[in-house]
Structures are given as C-alpha cells and as structure tokens.
C-alpha cells in the first residue's frame, strides 16, 4: 500500500520544522532527477541550502509505504527544492513514527492511485486520532 499525505496547508516555517524533525530520526537523501531521462543522481547539499529552498509553493508531501512493490516499509517526507530545479530532499523514517508526525503537523487528508484515478480521503480513513491507531483500509 502507498498513501500520499499532501503538506500544502503548512507554512514555510512549519515545513522547515518538519524537515528538522524528520532528519533527527530518519535518513536524508537529496536527488537530482535528470530532465527527460529516467536517471537520478544523489547529490550533497548543506542543510542551510536545503532549508532556504523549502517552499510552501512546492508539492511537499509524506508518503507511507507498506508492502509496496518491494520497497522497504517506511514513511518518506519529500521536499522539492525551489532554487534547485529537479532536485528533491527525501527523508525516510520508520512507519511507527507517522503517528507523532500526524499529530504534530495535523495531517488532514491523503490520496492514492486506484487504477488510473486519484482518490482523495480524509485522514480518519487511515488513522483515528484518539488514540492514534491505524485502520486496516485497503
């Protein structure tokens, strides 16, 4: 299963806090996707450059992976970098930490592809907030 949680409602400062929080418990990977090709390259950028280029205008999101096409189970936070076209900072965190991030950053909705169609759902179709327990929704 793969669930996407858009972060469009967070301010730039909240996005930067989310980046810092995720880096404390996860693994950072910065990738440059070569335009027009299916290749990507891992690059190194200093933290201050990444933070400066996190923007609310970009499509920032969390994606929850579990038993998905051979990928390791993880939650990935993605920050496309505004001053570096085709470059995204990804942070992989353990799925059990999603509860804490959901509560702190007020995740309200998620989406997934169902066939060729994107379906949007309220967050409560995936988690309940009191107590934070995962639904078995597929």
Domain hosting residue 41, numbered range = 2-134
Q: Please state, in angstroms and rounded to a whole number, the distance separating the CA atoms of residues 128 and 132.
A: 5
What is the C-alpha separation between 71 and 1, in angstroms, rounded? 10
Number of domains in the chain: 1
- Check pLDDT > 50 for residue 94: yes
Q: How far is the C-alpha of 98 from the C-alpha of 80, rounded, in Å? A: 20
Taking only the tens place, the pLDDT of each residue in 10-69 is: 999 999 999 999 999 999 999 999 888 888 899 999 999 999 999 998 999 999 888 888
Tokens of 10: 């967070």
Is 48 in contact with 31 (CB distance < 8 Å)? no
Tokens of 88: 């995204």
pLDDT at 129: 43
């Amino acid at each position: 299963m793969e669930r996407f949680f858009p972060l469009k409602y967070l301010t730039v400062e909240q996005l930067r806090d989310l980046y810092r929080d995720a880096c404390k418990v996860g693994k950072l990977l910065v990738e440059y996707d070569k335009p027009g090709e299916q290749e990507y390259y891992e690059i190194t950028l200093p933290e201050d450059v990444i933070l400066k280029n996190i923007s609310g205008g970009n499509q920032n999101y969390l994606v929850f992976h579990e038993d998905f096409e051979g990928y390791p189970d993880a939650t990935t936070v993605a920050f496309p970098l505004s001053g570096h076209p085709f470059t995204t900072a990804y942070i992989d965190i353990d799925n059990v930490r999603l509860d804490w991030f959901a509560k702190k950053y007020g995740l309200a909705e998620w989406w997934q592809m169902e066939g060729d169609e994107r379906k949007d759902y309220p967050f409560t179709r995936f988690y309940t907030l009191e107590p934070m327990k995962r639904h078995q929704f597929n």
